[in-house]
Chain A
Amino acid sequence: DVKVTQSSRYLVKRTGEKVFLECVQDMDHENMFWYRQDPGLGLRLIYFSYDVKMKEKGDIPEGYSVSREKKERFSLILESASTNQTSMYLCASTPGGRMAYEQYFGPGTRLTVT
């Protein structure tokens, strides 16, 4: 059974803190993604990675960075959290190559920055 896990369901941080969100998939997928989900805006892609140590910016990368040191793990980093980064963060993965199709999602991390 496909599984994507995220380190926390709920997180509360203070403005200026460095925040790490972790995502792990057990399906040996090449591609991994970080989105944020906000009401009325749908899912917006922050960053994605198509291989270990490889990453590309998505639509809203400002204020975020990522790390992928192992194939199964993709981390999202908020270098200095701000209140406008309060959101639901979703991680997803998908196989690589021409068979890339539906994404498998984790349960999400609801981050509140105060």
Chain B
Amino acid sequence: AQSVSQHNHHVILSEAASLELGCNYSYGGTVNLFWYVQYPGQHLQLLLKYFSGDPLVKGIKGFEAEFIKSKFSFNLRKPSVQWSDTAEYFCAVNKGSSNTGKLIFGQGTTLQVKP
């Protein structure tokens, strides 16, 4: 069965530290890749997405992610985190052939940034 794995369940960083959250998926075909973020008390919202083209994608709030096809990975990065980045982060994948938008989500990573 297809799956999405996020390696870090809980990450604690100080402000200005660099962030990298791992995401690996098991599907072998063409995929669309997403990172979603859920700030405390808020809706789940899209952070960034990859469909095709440049494997390094940039999202909102200074986040970026790199698609490495050979490693089935889509890791999220930010060079310098802020206290306001405290949130839960979800990686998600759907098949490139899908027209239903059905996503498979990872387990989520809780990021806590200390001021």
Contacts and interface: CB of A to CB of B under 8 A. Distances in A.
Given A42-B106, A42-B107, A42-B108, A94 B101 contact: yes
Nearest to B51: A101
Contacts, number: 62
B26 interface: no
A61 interface: no
Nearest to B32: A101
B70 interface: no
B114 interface: no
Contact-size category for A: 20 to 34
Contacts of B34: 102
Interface string B19-44: 00000000000001010100000111
A50 B100 contact: yes
Contacts of B98: 100
Given A40-B9, A42-B106, A43-B105, A105 B43 contact: yes
A101 B49 contact: yes
Given A40-B107, A41-B107, A42-B90, A97 B46 contact: no
A98 B99 contact: yes
Nearest to B104: A45
Most chain-B Cβ atoms within 10 A of its Cβ — which of A31, A40, A92, A101? A101
A97 B99 contact: yes
A95 B107 contact: no
Contacts of B108: 40, 42-43
Interface in A37-54: 40-45, 48, 50
Contact of B101 (A31, A40, A44, A105): A31
Contacts of A101: 32, 49, 51, 101
Contacts of A50: 100
A100 B100 contact: yes
Given A94-B101, A96-B100, A105-B44, 5 more contacts: A43-B90, A45-B102, A100-B94, A107-B42, A108-B43
Interface of A: 31, 33, 35, 40-45, 48, 50, 90, 92, 94-98, 100-103, 105-108
